[in-house]
Structure 1
Amino acid sequence: MSRPIRTIAGVVAALLLAGACNSAATDSSSGKGAGGSVRGVTGDSIKVGGIVSMTTATGYSKKDTDLGARARFDRANAEGGVNGRKIAYLGAQDDGQDPARNLAAARKLVQQDKVFAIAPMSSTTFSGADFLQQQKVPTFGWGTLPSFCGPTYIYGFGGCMVPMPGGTISQTWPEGLKHVTGGAEGKSVAILANDSDAGNFAIRTYKQSFATAGYKVTYAKPSVPATSVPSDWSAYTKDILRSNGGKAPDAVVSVMQTPYNIGLFTALKRGGYRGVLTDPTDYDPSLLAKSATKQALDGVHILLSFQPFEQENAAMKQFKADIRKAAGKEVPLNMHMMTGYMSADLFLSIARKAGKNLTPASFQKAAGKFSDSGTMVGDRAEPKGQQESFGCGALVQLKDGKYVVSAPFTCYPPIPFK
């Protein structure tokens, strides 16, 4: 996010928060309405909403995150709900990947719709985080933003993926890549991200992560404009292909979204690059519908922080059945569905442990000693997950028009973040 946008978002946040604090109609900071009842909780229901980037300037969409959450909540309701209460899921607000709209969506869900929790929250911007924390709204999403690391009411379904100093870094990506490159000894990587707060943080994190795993990091820059996909990638590919002492690195790591990856990887291949390409976003069968996209992403290894769809077990069979039922038909699976599903699943798991007397305080008390094991994101524990990731993941490769597991779902010890 650029400095002007951060400044504007900060001013908007201050104004909205001031309005919230001065409202006589709602005492949101205690999680209670004017009548003293708990916001979003009745005798037979719990109101939940979501915030998802369904539309973006680049055309990238996370809309299926909403379907994933709905599928998990539908099954919970079919099984009787949570401690006698059904989940009233309002669906997801579209923030358009815009900071002002993200905050506005958070404010609407809390102050107008009176939700108890937000699950999922899936966007590359999370300007509503401070507001939700102050209003004591349990919020669940993919912990790939700093706001998921530290605030007590905000939870990453796979833990904190981008920790602050004093936290830890998941080693899933570099350790998984060792399966592909035959180890890290003597191998080099180049890392590229967008010119944004998230991109800067990603470079800082993964530069340390890959170096600790034994790779030589020859290039690490958050230099690609975050507001539009470049039409000419030559300035980036030229630097990357010469970064390893005048020659190409063994692997190129892109911490960007699909439209950027298509442009970057196509340009690298046209430039004669034959090394490993990897990113954390392109696990989506719908991308295979267009031959140009399929060609651009062919051979790419994609990082997953959850069990691959191709790795079957009872939990995965249940996930597929739930998605099929919620969609009303067979649909191609993608990582956004898993984001919504596991965000909802973590909320439900903690809410059950909170008991019948559900309040923000009882929810937090249950979260403070929550743990389970064997989920599709590994073993979960809170509040550990607000400081570090659960450390599990896999790599899949797009090969000949289909995804295959290139590094199996495994959990790795994290490293200290410096």
Structure 2
Amino acid sequence: MILLRSRRARTGLAGVAALVAAVTFASCSSTTDNGNGTSSAPVDLGKPMDAAAASKLAIEKAGPIQFATGSTTRGVNGKVITIGGIADVKDTTGIENFPGVCDGAKARFERANREGGVNGYTFSYAGCTDSGADPTKSKDAVTEMVEDKKVFGLVPFTATVSSVGDYLNDKHVPYFGWGISNDYCGWNNRQFGFSVTQAVSCPNVLPGQTFYSSAGLESYLTGSGKKAADVKAAFLGSSVAAGESSVRSFAKMAVGLGMKAPYAKTPIPGPGAPPLSDYTPIARDIIASGANLVASTTPPAQIFPLVAALRSSGYTGDVLIYFADPRLAPLADQLDKVYAMTPNFGSSVFPSPTFLQIGTDLKAIGSQADSGASGTLTSYGAADLFLKAFAKISGPVTTEALAKVLNSGFDYPALGNAMCGSTWPAGRALGNDCAAIVQFDGAKKAIVPIKDLQTFGHEYLFSAA
């Protein structure tokens, strides 16, 4: 029974890994490669920018938003605003990848109501529909929410396989969630979409150029105490276009920061391909490269056998992964001493008033969701961003007025140590330089804190060619 639960935990986190991989690698796709999967020639990363400088440059490059006109009051019933949600609650196999992805938003809106509302308005939550990682279901759910339930906006909107961005923007429907689908990718044509993760997989917002962040590697250096010059990094991913681009980008950043990158390959079969039965050849290839850091964005179902193969083959260096879902804690003995970066979100292993408040709000609606789960934080944070912007509306409440508040230049501060802040409208072109670092402790079967949510690294602007 324990084995079955462990397998389910690993499999059920595949979507989490997909999300954080996209978040981590919102970057350009070029690097210096000598043809055998290594990257070591000098790389000039260009001018490092903090969030303010990158935001200013992004707006200069893209131009100001041309505000949508109109007076859409759909979902405004007197002093009550109707909100709905659409999320991939379960994937096509029925596994729940993102617990709390609906409950977080509902909990935050209910808290706003308990506190008396915002500017005299309260919020009625019309429910959250499971889009099931199915584009047809996503489209049908959006149509029902907008045309039948007459919602003011969608909070959250986290359909990962979806193509309703044109519809939502044509109908002037504000939507908030994570930016893992193309529905969040654009500038004027996506001015009603606001991702709490900012731009994570949108390479063409600025024609010919892309921003990306050094947070992934700089957070590891800070958390481990290592010097860049002492790190020989191996980057590996899945054999799909996104994985190949990610690995190349990561290798380029590593070399630019002063590391060596003797291994940069994508030997892991992609979705739909037969899974590997033996990771030993990959492990031996990595060890032969001389790497002392292995960084992988592959899902948990692939991380576990990879780590096992590395250790059984004699690897003694560090391993860095990009997810630390609380459900992995019971399996920490299989990931002992592995570092985990949590891009965009904090971790509840760092106790704080913020996580306590989120937990209290969840309990108030009868939810069992974990306050530190990525689904909870995405949903709760999306609602918090909505409410903070809603409070700034002056004059009649319309969807256009809400979008204008955000697109006129809106800085959303970090949600305590639970979620990174964002800036608008530049967030459509930028990633986040914010993360937390934790480590798996096998003896304790726990995820232990290393560095709480903070800014790591800088933004860089590269040619997309």
Settle same-fold status: TM greater than 0.5: yes
Residue pairs, 1:8-23, within 5 angstroms? none
TM-score, scaled relative to structure 2: 0.72
**Are 2:99 and 2:370, in contact at CA under 8 Å, matched by a contact in 1?**
no
**Are 1:200 and 1:222, in contact at CA under 8 Å, matched by a contact in 2?**
no
Gap change, CA 1:323 and 1:187, over 3 Å in 2? same
Gap change, CA 1:153 and 1:273, over 3 Å in 2? farther
Residue pairs, 1:374-393, within 5 angstroms? 374-376=414-416, 377-393=419-435
- Aligned equivalent of 2:10: none
- Aligned equivalent of 1:39: 74
Gap change, CA 1:152 and 1:230, over 3 Å in 2? same
Residue 392 of structure 1 aligns with an amino acid whose one-letter code is C
2:385 equivalent to 1:341: no
- Aligned equivalent of 1:253: 295
Point out the more displaced range, 80-89 or 360-369. Answer: 80-89
- Aligned equivalent of 2:452: 408
1:327 match: secondary structure: coil
1:49-108, Cα deviation, whole Å (9 max, x unpaired) = 222222225635213211222221111111122322222223322222233333333333
Q: Give the whole-Å Cα distance in 1 for the aligned partners of 2:179 and 2:350.
A: 23
2:329 equivalent to 1:288: yes
Q: Give the whole-Å Cα distance in 2 for the aligned partners of 1:176 and 1:157.
A: 20
Residue 289 of structure 2 aligns with an amino acid whose one-letter code is K
Structure 1 residue 401, shift from structure 2 partner = 1.5
Residue 431 of structure 2 aligns with an amino acid whose one-letter code is S
Identity of aligned residues (%): 25
- Aligned equivalent of 1:213: 257
**Are 1:203 and 1:222, in contact at CA under 8 Å, matched by a contact in 2?**
no
2:342 equivalent to 1:299: no
1:190-248, Cα deviation, whole Å (9 max, x unpaired) = 333345565455445434443433333321428532247825243xx52354246x335
Residue 107 of structure 1 aligns with an amino acid whose one-letter code is T
Structure 1 residue 370, shift from structure 2 partner = 1.4
Structure 1 residue 367, shift from structure 2 partner = 0.5
1:357 match: secondary structure: coil
**Are 1:52 and 1:121, in contact at CA under 8 Å, matched by a contact in 2?**
yes
Q: Give the whole-Å Cα distance in 2 for the aligned partners of 1:53 and 1:408.
A: 28
- Aligned equivalent of 1:395: 437
2:451 match: secondary structure: strand
Q: 1:370 aligns with which of 382, 393, 410?
A: 410
Q: Give the whole-Å Cα distance in 1 for the aligned partners of 2:362 and 2:399.
A: 29
Gap change, CA 1:222 and 1:146, over 3 Å in 2? farther
Q: Give the whole-Å Cα distance in 2 for the aligned partners of 1:339 and 1:135.
A: 24
Structure 1 residue 386, shift from structure 2 partner = 1.4
Q: Which runs of 5+ in 2 are unaligned?
A: 1-67
2:147 equivalent to 1:108: no
1:121-158, Cα deviation, whole Å (9 max, x unpaired) = 33543333333233322222223455434332222213
- Aligned equivalent of 1:23: none
Residue 388 of structure 1 aligns with an amino acid whose one-letter code is L
Gap change, CA 1:256 and 1:50, over 3 Å in 2? farther
Q: 2:398 aligns with which of 356, 359, 365?
A: 359
Per chain length, whose mean CA-contact separation is higher, i.e. which structure has more relative contact order (CA < 8 Å, sep 6+)? 2
- Aligned equivalent of 2:52: none
Structure 1 residue 364, shift from structure 2 partner = 1.7
2:132 equivalent to 1:77: no
TM-score, scaled relative to structure 1: 0.79
- Aligned equivalent of 2:169: 133
- Aligned equivalent of 1:310: 349
**Are 1:254 and 1:279, in contact at CA under 8 Å, matched by a contact in 2?**
yes
Structure 1 residue 336, shift from structure 2 partner = 1.8
**Are 1:192 and 1:220, in contact at CA under 8 Å, matched by a contact in 2?**
yes
Q: Give the whole-Å Cα distance in 2 for the aligned partners of 1:123 and 1:330.
A: 19
- Aligned equivalent of 1:327: 366
Q: Which runs of 5+ in 1 are unaligned?
A: 1-29
